[in-house]
A and B are shown apart, each in its own frame.
Chain A
Amino acid sequence: KQEVTQIPAALSVPEGENLVLNCSFTDSAIYNLQWFRQDPGKGLTSLLLIQSSQREQTSGRLNASLDKSSGRSTLYIAASQPGDSATYLCAVRWNAGGTSYGKLTFGQGTILTVHP
């Protein structure tokens, strides 16, 4: 069964810390992996997209890595700020043939709180 798991479920850190969020998946036949941020009562905002042929992607203070062989991705946030407080979700798009877009499976998310 194709599943995505995120650990930890919640994380609280002081401002300025570097932190790592983890995402694991059960099948290495992935098309891509996407990290999202969700603020309370809002939609999901795409942070980073890593295609299966890539090892990492960077955007500002965010860096996401992908290791298909071990079934893991990490989201690294440098110098965390209170404004980074949100729920972070990873989603894996599995390979599919033909004209199919492939199924997208979400993890349950990590609730991040950065306190001043």
Chain B
Amino acid sequence: DGGITQSPKYLFRKEGQNVTLSCEQNLNHDAMYWYRQDPGQGLRLIYYSQIVNDFQKGDIAEGYSVSREKKESFPLTVTSAQKNPTAFYLCATTSWQGREQYFGPGTRLTVT
């Protein structure tokens, strides 16, 4: 079954703790992305990676970190430096051929 998986679906953390969101894909796409979605704010790009062992900051990278050690995986760490971490996080991939974007089901993070 091809696609993008994100886990967990819901995540709860205490303020001051780092948390890592998982994103795995079996679409064989080189490019992977992390977005944040807040009510009324639309989608905002956090980080993206076009190839293994390389990644770039998006529009709102402060307080986040990523790694890309394998083509299939692009985990996002929300650090304690992120001031407003509660949000819906979406992982996506892009095919080189056609440049079509695909999204995972999302992880809702709540920090209290």
Residues of A in contact with B (beta carbons under 8 Å apart): 31-32, 34, 36, 41-46, 49, 51, 89, 91, 93, 99-102, 104, 106-109
- Asked if B96 and A101 sit within 8 Å, CB to CB, the answer is yes
Nearest 6 CB-CB pairs, A to B? A43-B103, A44-B103, A43-B105, A106-B43, A43-B106, A108-B42
Known: A42-B105, A44-B90. A34 touches B100 (CB 8 A): yes
Q: Which residue of B lies closest to A103 (CB)?
A: B45
- Chain A residues with CB under 8 Å of B94's CB are 101, 104
Q: Could you say which residues of chain A place their CB within 8 Å of the CB of B110?
A: none
Within 8 A of A (CB), among B11-62: 31, 42-43, 45, 50
The residue on A at minimum CB distance from B90 is A43
Q: Which residues of B contact A32 (CB under 8 A)?
A: 98-100
Main DSSP-derived SS at the B contact region? strand
Known contacts A101-B31, A109-B42: A91-B50 contact under CB 8 Å: no
Closest to A108 in B: B42
Q: Is the CB of B98 within 8 A of A46?
A: no
* Given A99-B50, A101-B94: A46 and B102 interface contact (C-beta under 8 Å): yes
Number of A-B residue pairs with CB-CB distance less than 8 Å in the complex they form: 50
List residues of B whose CB falls within 8 A of some A CB.
4, 6, 31, 42-43, 45, 50, 88, 90, 92, 94, 96, 98-106, 108
How many angstroms from the CA of A45 to the CA of B3 in the assembled complex?
Answer: 12
Q: Are A34 and B42 neighbours in the complex by a CB distance under 8 Å?
A: no
Residue of B nearest to A36 (CB): B103
Bound-complex Cα distance A51 to B102 (A): 16
Residue among A42, A43, A44, A101 making CB contact with B99, cutoff 8 Å: A101
Residues of B within 8 A of A99 (CB): 50
